[in-house]
Amino acid sequence: MNVYDSARMADVLAPLGYVSSSGPDGADMVILNTCHIRERASEKVYSELGRLRKIKKARTGSNNKMVIAVAGCVAQAEGEEILRRAPYVDIVLGPQTYHRLPEMVALATRASDKRNGNGNGILDTEFPVSSKFDHLPVENSSQGISAFLSVQEGCDKFCTFCVVPYTRGVEFSRPIEQVFEEAQRLVKKGAREITLLGQNVNAYHGKNETGSEVGLSYLIERLSEITGLDRLRYTTSHPKDMDESLINSHGKVGTLMPYLHLPVQSGSDRILAAMNRRHTAEEYLNIIHSLRKARPDIALSSDFIVGFPGETEADFEATIALIKEIKFSQAYSFKYSIRPGTPAGMLNDQVDDSVKNERLAYLQSVLLEQQNDYNSSKIGKELPVLFERQGRHEGQLIGRSPYNQSVSVNDAPADLIGAIRNVKIDSNLSHSLGGKVVEHGGLGSSAVNGNSL
Ligand code: SAH
Ligand code: SF4
């Protein structure tokens, strides 16, 4: 979502004459768009600011001044603290106020001579009543072949470990037509795949033409009408909001790719309850079962947290058992990280770091083996690959399989970028696949078992 937000900030600033630069040297403004989800992510902000301070200082007194802004969730959570610890920061803005960047920049550049880097930076971390999406300009930048589109933001779930409800605010969905029009514009600019984004994307709700409440499955079906939009994905989902109609979309909507990232966090009911996840391990397994019934080849991914306060060896084993039962094609896993202000952060029975390290290493080894097995199972098969960009080597192209695997081919013409071609997979390169374009007739967006890939 920060990638999407950064592109939109660039759109907001374009009318002021700002264009993207490749790095901070020589730039008139640097915006750090930050993440607060785990301690490691938010720590990076201060070390990055230290680096920028030096560049800014070297330019003091010259005509080539630099505005420093901190955006995103660290800004939202620690706004005052940032201005105190780093008084050379000119602007601090939250994720819901970046449509107001032009005013902030005007104020900051006017005030910068007086301030001389000595405090009084601008702070705008409000949650405005009207949505930023109603004020953002039409997208200026192209996101390329595979684009992101934010459709939902914020969260009302309040999992006890998570800062999102505090930094991104309450759950909000954009109107269907607004999303539809943005998707059409993205396709006009060259996108052939769109990933719908939301912290809780499957909590998406909107109103159809007759004014009835509809969910994400309706939005997906509506977007699948867009000519030239060959692939749709959505992330991140919560198991509790995985309703029947969305599950059925996986069997019905040809453009919806057979891949789902569905975080479960733990396989222990005791820990799931302490996390306030509102479902059991069995309920999660039932969802997976229904998904596989609707779309037998669906590839599954998840998020795991090890070392949540009070997690015992038996709880951890329950997580491993769940992983072994489901078999994921890929996954993300993290050590529990205390987030200030969250209920779990205040619990006494925090797990030792050494135990967390041990559990994480073992869990990741099981997941890596599954990913490897999954990727190897595609060797010898032909997969329709959407080519997105050139690779590092001459003649190499990188694309994506329907199952969200990165696929590289050598000796392919660059004009295949943006096209879908069948690739015969011949190697498992551990985090990606290798193969050759099949010359006899590509698939394009034609039907395979009723599903256009
Ligand atoms: N909305 C999604 C996840 C959003 S946060 C969901 O409900 O699943 C992305 C991932 O970061 C989470 O799934 C979780 O695995 C991880 N995460 C969030 N807070 C964390 C914390 N305090 N410590 C470790 N990992 C965390
Ligand atoms: Fe955080 Fe996701 Fe839980 Fe919301 S549902 S509180 S975003 S982990």
In a domain, 442, yes or no: no
Does residue 57 share a domain with residue 201? no
Say if residue 278 is in the same domain as residue 402: no
* Residue 224 in domain: yes
Q: Are residues 118 and 139 in the same domain?
A: no
Last residue of a domain, one of 84, 100, 124: 124
Same domain, 413 and 287: no
Whether the CA torsion 84, 86, 89, 94 is positive or negative: it is negative
- Nearest ligand to the CA atom of 157: 2
Give the residues of the chain that fall short of pLDDT 70: 111-119, 440-453
327 lies in some domain = yes
259 with 397, same domain? no
Measured in Å, residue 309 CA sits from the centre of ligand 1 at 15
CATH of the domain at 254: 3.80.30.20
Give 418-453 as a DSSP string: T-EEEEEEEEE-SSEEEEEE--S---TT-EETTEE-
Domain membership of residue 445 (yes or no) is no
- What integer pLDDT is reported at residue 119 of this predicted model? 62
| CA 399 / ligand 1 centre spacing (Å) | 27
Last residue of a domain, one of 333, 356, 376: 376
For the chain, how many structural domains are there in total? Answer: 3
Separation between Cα atoms, residue 76 and residue 95, nearest integer Å? 7
- CATH code of the domain containing 420: 2.40.50.140
**C-alpha span between 4 and 345 (Å, rounded):** 29
Q: Is 438 left (phi over 0), alpha (psi -120 to 50) or beta?
A: beta
Please, are residues 193 and 231 in contact by the beta-carbon 8 Å criterion? yes
What distance in angstroms lies between residue 173's CA and the mean position of ligand 1's atoms?
A: 20
User: Ligand 1: residues within 6 Å at CB?
Assistant: 37-38, 161-162, 164, 199-200, 236, 238, 263, 265, 303, 305, 334, 336-337, 339
- Residue 447 belongs to a domain: no
396 shares a domain with 368: no
In a shared domain, residues 248 and 331:
yes
For the CA of 345, the closest atom of ligand 1 is 22
- Give the DSSP H/E element, type plus range, for residue 111: helix 101-115
Ligand 1 atom nearest the C-alpha of 344 is 22
Counting from 1 in the atom list of ligand 2, the atom nearest the Cα of 158 is: 6
Provide the phi-psi class of 307: left if phi over 0, else alpha when psi is between -120 and 50, else beta. left
User: How far is the centre of ligand 2, averaged over its atoms, from the C-alpha of 68 (Å)?
Assistant: 30
User: Is the domain of 139 the same as that of 226?
Assistant: yes
Residue 90 sits in a domain whose CATH number is 3.40.50
Whether residues 8 and 77 fall in one domain: yes
- Do 57 and 179 lie in one domain? The reply is no
**Contact yes or no for 179/225 (Cβ under 8 A):** no
Its pTM surpasses 0.85:
yes
Positive or negative CA dihedral for 405, 411, 412, 414?
positive
Distance 217 CA to ligand 2 centre (A): 20
What domain range includes position 56? 2-124
Among the three residues 327, 353, 376, which one is the final residue of a domain in this structure? 376
Q: Are residues 155 and 78 in the same domain?
A: no
Residues 310-345 have pLDDT tens digits of 999 999 999 999 999 999 999 999 999 999 999 999
Pocket test for ligand 1, best of 303, 333, 346, 350 (most atoms within 8 A of CB): 303
Ligand nearest to the CA of 200: 1
Residue 443 lies in a domain: no
Within a domain: 253: yes
Which bound ligand lies closest to the C-alpha atom of 35? 1
Distance 161 CA to ligand 1 centre (A): 8
User: What angle (nearest 5°) sits at the alpha carbon of residue 178, between those of residues 35 and 150?
Assistant: 20
Using CA positions, which residue lies closest to atom 19 of ligand 1?
162
Ligand 2 centroid vs 429 CA: distance in angstroms? 33
- Is 444 a member of any domain? no
Same domain, 42 and 81: yes
Q: Which residues line ligand 2 (CB under 6 A)?
A: 155, 157-159, 162, 164-165, 199-200, 238
